[in-house]
Structure 1
Amino acid sequence: MTYTELFSLEPLAFLTWLDKTFPTKVPDCIDTVSDMTKAAGQLLMFTNEYAYISELSSLARILTRKAKREGRKTDYEDMVDKRDAIENKMSAIKQCYQGVSRSITVRSENNEELRMLSSRYVA
C-alpha cells in the first residue's frame, strides 16, 4: 500500500491497518536457546518497524499541517487522529522492544550466575 493510499483511509480503517500490520506481541517467557533466538529476531523486527513507523509519523505531521493551512477541517481532524495513532503505535513498539531486551538481559544474567555457581561446586 502506498503512502497516498494509507493516508486516504478513514481513521478507523487506518488504525486497523496499523494494528494488523504491526502487532505488538511479545513472548511470555524466554527459557530456552530457541526462545532467545526468537526474541533476538523480534528485537530486529521491532527495530525495523520502528524505523518505518517513524517515517510515517514524519509524513503524517507534514500532511496534518498542510490540511490545517489549507483550511480542510475534516481532513485536518482525520490527520490528527492518524498522526496520534502512529505515535501510539511507535510508543507500543518501543515498549515491546525494551521489554524483550530486558527479558533477554535478565535471562543472560541468570545463566551467567548459574554458570559461576556451578563452577564453584565442580572445582
Structure 2
Amino acid sequence: MENLNTDKIYAEQLAGEYAPKDTTKVMALHKLDQRAKLPALVCAYSLGIVASLVLGVGMCLTMGVIGNGSGLLFVVGVIAGLVGIAGICVNYPLYNRLIQRGKERYGTDIVRLAQEISAE
C-alpha cells in the first residue's frame, strides 16, 4: 500500500513540473523584489572580489612572494594594497546606496502589490 501512495505523490509532483505555470501576484511580488535588489548584489560581489584580489596582490608584492623583492615592487604593493583596502571600505556603503535606490524605484509597485495580496 505504501508504494501506491509514493507513486501517486511522485506522479503529482512530476505533473506539477510540466504543467503550465501561472504567474501569480506573489510571484510578481518576488520578481519585483529581486529586480530591486539584484543590481546592488551584483555590484557588491563584483567590487568585493576585485578589491580583495587587488589587496592580496598588493600584500604578495609587499612581502616579496611575487616579484624579486625590489624596492619599486614594495611601493607598488603598498599602493595596490591601499587601493584594495579602499575598495573594501567603499563596498558596503555603495551596496546600501544601491539597495536604497532600488527600493525607491520599485517601492511603490511592491507596496501596491503587497496590499493587493493582503486584501485577498
Q: TM-score, normalised by structure 1?
A: 0.45
Looking at CA atoms only, which structure, 1 or 2, has the larger radius of gyration? Answer: 2
Structure number with higher relative contact order (C-alpha < 8 Å, ≥ 6 residues apart):
1
Q: TM-score, normalised by structure 2?
A: 0.46
